[in-house]
Amino acid sequence: MITGDHPATARAVARRLDIIADGGEVMTGRQLAHLSDEDLASRIQHIRVYARVDPEQKIRIVKTLQERGEYVAMTGDGVNDAPALKRADIGVAMGRGGTDVAREASDMVLLDDNFATIVSAVRAGRRIYDNIRRFIKYALTTNSSEIWIIFLAPFLGLPIPLLPLHILWVNLVTDGLPGLALAVEPEERGIMKRPPRPPQESIFAHGMWQHIIWVGLLMGGIVLAIQA
């Protein structure tokens, strides 16, 4: 929790929200100003609450977390939060009580100003992303098998097994309805316990393209073996 309020106020709110326990450290902006970048990097994992900080110090906290390999989501509503919202990996602004500057600087706007909505949005986003990966994996695997069949058949002395009308019919039947089913798949168990996905990670990561190639080749080989 990062706030410009008095440390006593910040401590009281943080204790009610179980952010810190009794006696937990609350670092003030004055204390933060006297810390070197190295000292802050070594202590930032243990500091849960910051009070009386200015906009520049908020950016410093976000930057230090990012340099440690963390993916930072920042929430705020005021003009003084805008620089940190812009710097964070995901900036979240309040839609009702937030300023126009904060909303413009953010990646996400909470229309109901409810922090629980962030959790719901992350959960829904992860489910949608998983389902997109499932459909791409399924569609490209089946289509790659068709490519392998058409490519390998002449080398094996077999006639072309798939005509354009066959390909159109197969794609219409096998991609349409199963694709709709994959799009509404429920979320996996423990979906919110995963670490954040790196923004630069390809949608074909975690062996997906190898699965598409080799399973497609296997399926195509089975079809050619049956035809032979």
Same domain membership, residue 105 and residue 18: yes
> Could you tell me if residue 1 is inside a domain?
no
The residue segments making up the domain with residue 192 are 124-227
Asked if 20 and 48 count as a contact pair (C-beta separation under 8 A), the reply is: yes
**Gap between the Cα atoms of 73 and 198, Å rounded:** 13
CATH number where 39 lies: 3.40.50.1000
pLDDT score at 100: 92
Boundary (domain end) residue, out of 117, 143, 163: 117
pLDDT score at 24: 81
> Could you tell me if residue 2 is inside a domain?
no
pLDDT tens-digit readout, 68-103: 989 999 999 999 999 999 999 999 999 988 899 999
Q: Please state the rounded mean pLDDT for residues 30-36.
A: 94
User: In total, how many domains does the chain have?
Assistant: 2
Same domain membership, residue 64 and residue 19: yes
Whole-number average pLDDT of the chain: 90
Q: Please state the rounded mean pLDDT for residues 123-151.
A: 91
Same domain membership, residue 99 and residue 67: yes
pLDDT score at 197: 87
Q: How confident is the model at residue 153 (pLDDT cuts 50, 70, 90)?
A: confident
DSSP code string of 93-157? EESSSS-HHHHHH-SEEETT--THHHHHHHHHHHHHHHHHHHHHHHHHHHHHHHHHHHHHTGGGT
What are the two backbone dihedrals, phi and then psi, of residue 26, each rounded to the nearest 5 degrees?
-120, 115
Same domain membership, residue 128 and residue 35: no
What are the two backbone dihedrals, phi and then psi, of residue 59, each rounded to the nearest 5 degrees?
-65, -40
Boundary (domain end) residue, out of 84, 117, 150: 117
Boundary (domain end) residue, out of 81, 96, 117: 117
Same domain membership, residue 91 and residue 13: yes
Using the predicted structure, report yes or no on whether residue 56 has a pLDDT greater than 90. yes
Asked if 29 and 53 count as a contact pair (C-beta separation under 8 A), the reply is: yes
Q: How confident is the model at residue 150 (pLDDT cuts 50, 70, 90)?
A: confident
Enter the pTM of the model: 0.80
